[in-house]
Chains A and B, each alone.
Chain A
Amino acid sequence: DIQMTQSPSSLSASVGDRVTITCRASQGISNYLAWFQQKPGKAPKSLIYDASSLQSGVPSKFSGSGSGTDFTLTISSLQPEDVATYYCQQYTTYPITFGQGTRLEI
């Protein structure tokens, strides 16, 4: 199985900060990577697919980059509504696997 490792596991930042979350795959996955945001008590929401493509309706302050084994999710200007847990997911190989999540606080 492909292991997806996110760092950090938790993060505290201030309003207006630029925040970066990293996801590393245990083997190459090309660009078959998605990022999700999950707020407490809610279902996950798709932010990014194919490593860098912004999902329709998602604010442009979210961006993704990377290919192969190393990927990043960046939030350009942190706002209170961005408090959530963020997950990466690889979908190149079965079983599809998720990172363990990064809890973002303000």
Chain B
Amino acid sequence: EVQLVESGGGLVQPGGSLRLSCAASGFSFSDHYMDWVRQTPGKGLEWIGRIRKKTNSYTTEYAASVKGRFTVSRDDSRNSLYLQMNSLKTEDTAMYYCTPHRGDYWGQGTLVTVS
């Protein structure tokens, strides 16, 4: 069974930092590009970043709204994905999800509140 479990969310002040984690199981994590997607309360979905796999040198892509503030990383030995969020703004308040490329699987999300 595929599982994605996000963690690390919470309440943080504007300008602060937070690191989210995503633990993956049940599929070949190291063979997948991995994304972070967020959803603001009552609003739609926003893709925020991607990390490619080892054979693509773990290169990353970011949405303009988070570029320079957020960093996506991964540890294939731990089947884990991370999102380092710095210089947080109130508009970063959202539920954060990790998902493999194309969104085949989703976790339950972790809520980040910047206030």
Contacts and interface: CB of A to CB of B under 8 A. Distances in A.
Contacts of B104: 46, 49, 55
A95 B102 contact: no
Interface size class of B (residues with CB under 8 A): 10 to 19
A101 B106 contact: no
Interface stretch (A17-25, A76-84, A86-94): A86-94
Contacts of A13: none
Given A95-B47, A95-B64, A100-B44, A46 B107 contact: no
B38 to A, nearest CB: 11
Contacts of A89: 45, 47, 103
A106 interface: no
Contact of A87 (B45, B61, B102): B45
Interface residues of A, number: 19
B82 interface: no
A36 interface: yes
A43 B103 contact: no
A34 interface: yes
A45 interface: yes
Contacts of B47: 89, 95-98
Contacts of B54: none
B107 A43 contact: yes
B102 A101 contact: no
B20 to A, nearest CB: 15
Interface string B27-43: 00000000100000000
Contacts of B46: 98
Closest 7 interchain pairs by CB?
A: A96-B47, A43-B106, A98-B45, A95-B63, A94-B61, A101-B44, A49-B102
22 contacts: A34-B103, A36-B45, A43-B106, A43-B107, A43-B108, A43-B109, A44-B45, A44-B97, A44-B103, A46-B106, A49-B103, A89-B47, A89-B103, A91-B102, A94-B50, A94-B61, A95-B63, A96-B50, A97-B47, A98-B44, A99-B44, A100-B44
Interface of A: 34, 36, 43-46, 49, 55, 87, 89, 91, 94-101
